[in-house]
Amino acid sequence: MRTAAVVPAAGRGERLGPGGPKALRLLAGRPLLVHAVQTLGQVVDVVVVAAPPDPGAVDDVTALLAPEVGTAQLVVVAGGATRQESVRRALAALPADVASVLVHDAARPLAPAALARSVLAALEAGAHAVIPALPVTDTVKRVDADEVVVETVDRSVLRAVQTPQGFRRVVLEQAHAAPGADALEATDDAGLVERLGLPVQVVPGSEEAFKVTRPLDLVLAEAVHAARAA
Ligand code: C5P
């Protein structure tokens, strides 16, 4: 059975400022999506990308990524209005012989191959669902509607969650098809698996797997990329 990576890449990236779909914004002169797919192509057998839902985007993204996936098979589908819908569309395009699936945000272009491999290893060791995560470093407070602090949360039991997240294919498909999943707009896939009552295993994340969301994140990404190349 083969392994696959599903890459939701259809976000508009409005928090990053003007400049088109986030996955196609440039890091070291190449789209974020290219960085992410190059890495995943070294780890899995199939890469399925949910492209921005613009006219011609599926063909454009296919042409962009075909030289970047190495020996992996590339499939590109049109993404949806939400991340969850984009993942669902990519899942529907998975080849039949895929048993394990990574879901990885195009917006985390510098997540190392070793991180993807450690998530797959935890799946092979028997986990149903695996997420990389880091301890929370900021103090976290809960606030009310008026921005008044309600409480300080114990951060020692909190984790900041990243991708790639890994799943047995049947588990991920079941989670996305579960009653009520549509209405949830989950920000990650493990959240849908939690609703099934299945355990989600945490493995150590990577500082380099940070998500490019705001302009400062791109500055950091350029610096990390340059340091790796030096
Ligand atoms: O917006 P956010 O940074 O949380 O998006 C995480 C990932 O989900 C990004 O890679 C983005 O391209 C993807 N996404 C998507 N379809 C959407 C919205 C976001 O594939 N409709």
User: Ligand 1 in contact with 211 (CB < 6 A)?
Assistant: yes
pLDDT at 14: 85
Architecture of domain 2-229: Alpha-Beta Complex (3.90)
Q: Inform me whether the pLDDT recorded for 50 exceeds 90.
A: yes
Q: Inform me whether the pLDDT recorded for 196 exceeds 90.
A: yes
User: Ligand 1 in contact with 104 (CB < 6 A)?
Assistant: no
What is the distance in A from the centroid of ligand 1 to the CA of 211?
10
- Which atom of ligand 1 sits closest to the CA of residue 105? 10
pLDDT at 12: 86
* Tokens (6 digits) for 47: 């890469």
User: Ligand 1 in contact with 83 (CB < 6 A)?
Assistant: yes
Q: Inform me whether the pLDDT recorded for 213 exceeds 80.
A: yes
pLDDT at 150: 98
Residues in Cβ contact with 61 at an 8 Å cutoff, skipping those fewer than 6 apart = 9, 33, 49, 51, 52, 76
pLDDT digit string, tens, across residues 12-45? 888 888 888 899 999 999 999 999 999 999 999 9
- Nearest Cα residue to atom 4 of ligand 1: 187
- Nearest Cα residue to atom 1 of ligand 1: 11
ipTM for the predicted complex: 0.96
User: Ligand 1 in contact with 57 (CB < 6 A)?
Assistant: no
Give the domain ranges of the chain: 2-229
d(C-alpha 8, C-alpha 204), whole Å: 22
pLDDT digit string, tens, across residues 87-119? 999 999 999 999 999 999 999 999 999 999 999
What is the distance in A from the centroid of ligand 1 to the CA of 82?
7
The residue type of 71 is T
pLDDT at 19: 81
